[in-house]
Amino acid sequence: MKKHTLEQHALIEQLGHIAKGLSETFSPFCEVVLHDLRDPQHAILAIHNNLSGRSEGDPATELGLARIADPAYPQVIANYPNRFSDGRQVKSTSIGIKDSTGKYVAALCMNVDLSVFRGLQGMLDQFSAFGEDRPEETLEVGSAELIRGRIDQFSARLATTPRALKAADRRVLMQELREAGLLDIRRSMETVAAYLGVSRATVYNDAR
């Protein structure tokens, strides 16, 4: 029986907590498996949200064996296609863990059941589909909502929020609102100022 170091034991013990935390965060869509690569014949040390039907004590996968055989094998392989034994498609990520000597001692693997999300996508597609009858009707959005919606779109393009826009960004925003005719709307400046969290004087200055 090979002697396992205290360092290796501590690594795997901490990985056990990480595996549990990940599984609780992504339950029930993601199976999280902790492999002990020191014992390839009984590698599965813990399996959370069991979607594959495997058990603790089952052997290492081909990927685990590859890591055992080659310390230079990639440490992180993310989002690769996989499949459960019943045919369900899976998106997997495998993270190899090395000790201080550079030897693989463990692996943390996550397997996301894509069939769940594809089912949800099908439901969303069905829900958003239009019927054959198409009467003419327009649902007018309130003027203030039009302005706020355009501000939200502008902020999203900059990966920020309306209230975090810098002065230069606000000037560009005001130009876009003017070109869209939104500054001609009654009380538009008050609406913009309130949504950006600045004074009306600031908005008038940005609009120059």
Q: What share of the chain is helix, strand, coil (3-state, %, to 5)?
A: 45, 20, 35
For the chain, the maximum distance between any two Cα atoms, rounded to a whole number of angstroms, is 82
- pLDDT for 114: 87
Say how far apart CA 180 and CA 60 lie, in whole Å: 61
Domain extents for the chain?
A: 6-116, 143-206
Res 137: pLDDT: 52
Tokens encoding 197: 């969290």
Q: What does the pLDDT read at residue 86? A: 78
pLDDT confidence of residue 135: 64
Mean pLDDT by 10 residues, the chain (208 residues): 76 96 92 96 96 94 94 95 87 95 96 82 76 59 81 88 91 92 89 92 92
The whole-number pLDDT of residue 67 equals 95
Nearest to 39 by CA among 16, 12, 14: 12
- Residue 204 pLDDT: 92
**pTM to 2 decimals?**
0.61
pLDDT value for 72: 95
The domain made up of 6-116 is a member of CATH 3.40.50.720: no
Q: What is the pLDDT of residue 1?
A: 37
Residue 60 contacts residue 43 (beta carbons within 8 Å): yes
Is the distance from CB of 105 to CB of 97 less than 8 angstroms?
A: yes
Residues 163, 202: Cα–Cα separation, whole Å: 13
Distance CA 145, CA 151 (A): 10
Res 139: pLDDT? 43
Q: In this predicted structure, what is the pLDDT of residue 100?
A: 92
